[in-house]
Structure 1
């Protein structure tokens, strides 16, 4: 059995100095409109980059993140970084939390303390993200392989039964876990889902109730003009990698655009929706670990696996066997529509605030929803 090793974040000062120098030497492009219609506007990004260079305190963030117990282990030749926060509750059950793109386990930093009052928490970094880098060989973008690795991780930690939560790509991992480890998973809780698949058909709006129609319209707009990031990463990740790996400003813009588009629609700017220092800590993790490039490759491989499965007719035929209880929480920035769900649901929640990163945006709502669902699972 591979060893589980304690881990602490310790970014070299030379890397911090290099980041500041690179930010100061940004070659700012000319812009045409000055608004968000063509991407992140220069004025906004300049202000954020200046704060990243001269106001943001990485060492304070590093110290705060290191308050969470962290570890690494090797699975199938790949280093996997994870948080493991054990509860003091004598009857605590285990819960596995998986983040998506563009994120890290620290997406859950605002909810860990409260959830760990009741649950043992295991929060891994997806391969190619954060400190689960570098990636040793192709294939780690395949979510089936990731789900299999997570079962191995839970074995090593001694958890025979566990609940799972996933968001974005992590929702895909959670769903696969409910199939390949149905006898072990007590329940599957999802956020960051959507009304359909990115490259699938548009949502048919006829017959939908008003709130669902609005979500369907938003999803269709996303398909029409919001898939550029996915098209590039799913087809030419290496070409994109040079910019993300060489320019912190480029990496900043690439992530900030998604926070602008996917967080609570009522929030004007990304750092209105989430704490600015937490947002920049996330971007910093991508920068220091080179995860911009490796997560793009993971997305490429994930989409390749999805296309192969789709061509093989994986989603056609008879009914799927019954699995563990399944719940979905939908926040204001999401597009998920209950009537379009093709699997039975044991838990459904809708919220008028929050968005694609609810653990960062509305931690109290996220915590209570997850806790309510897991308690129902027994």
Structure 2
């Protein structure tokens, strides 16, 4: 089966987090026809697929969900983060290893994981046994052209941590002619957003805090809104720095609430941890890149403020050796852009590198 056709099919089936029903069915039925062992998750979308037998069990995580965004004037599920490519590489690796199954020195397991974009799909997989028995786990992510060009690859990605704060300003609406009688929630939100710029941690650690959503008011423009909802996107390169940021933000919100005399509360949601790259897994992936793409293709570890729930696997299972392949694909204009494009020849390169890494990992166990 051609990788390009698989990608086209998956791209056309784009579904958002925990709604990847058609995607799950497509992958399961196709792999079963090829003689690959398939097990669906009972409590959520996604599946695991295996070839080979015995130990060690070497895994590969392929995220499945798409983003919900406006594309050419239409709101729709859209694979603008490359998850359709990651699934295609996982399928290609399974089918390639199936052909040489008798030569495998262990079991290869591909985890088709839902809800990466929601930041907690990996936790559901772990909770439902999808990572049980793994000794090594690899992942992959296409990289923007300004990080890696097509034909280049790095043995790991050092993601930062990310988390959202969902907040609410609660007060009473006012008549537009009587602003002195209370607090304008819009002005309170604007002032809070400015205050958050004063959050400071070490400049040696990349980090950011910004308001990414704010809703207040309705269709009657002569009402000053007393209530509003808002959201913050918070990023830090290390988990320790993230803890420090959270404490400072909570302090700012509490102090500002008291100063304005209006109730401001919120909750932290969808935490995604920073990377804890295993050096042994990284060394295996480095060797696989050199063997399959050549020494000239090898690039250093990619450090990015972006986040990925892949790293929950090592937090929940500290014994697991894991890293994520950074694959050059001439990807433009950028990840999450509705018109994201990439060189599809990277799919075959990804399969070759992942397959080689799996074989090396099995041989070293």
TM range (shorter): 0.3 to 0.5
Higher helix proportion (structure 1 or 2): 1
Q: Which has the larger radius of gyration?
A: 2
Q: What TM-score do the two structures reach when normalised by structure 1? A: 0.32
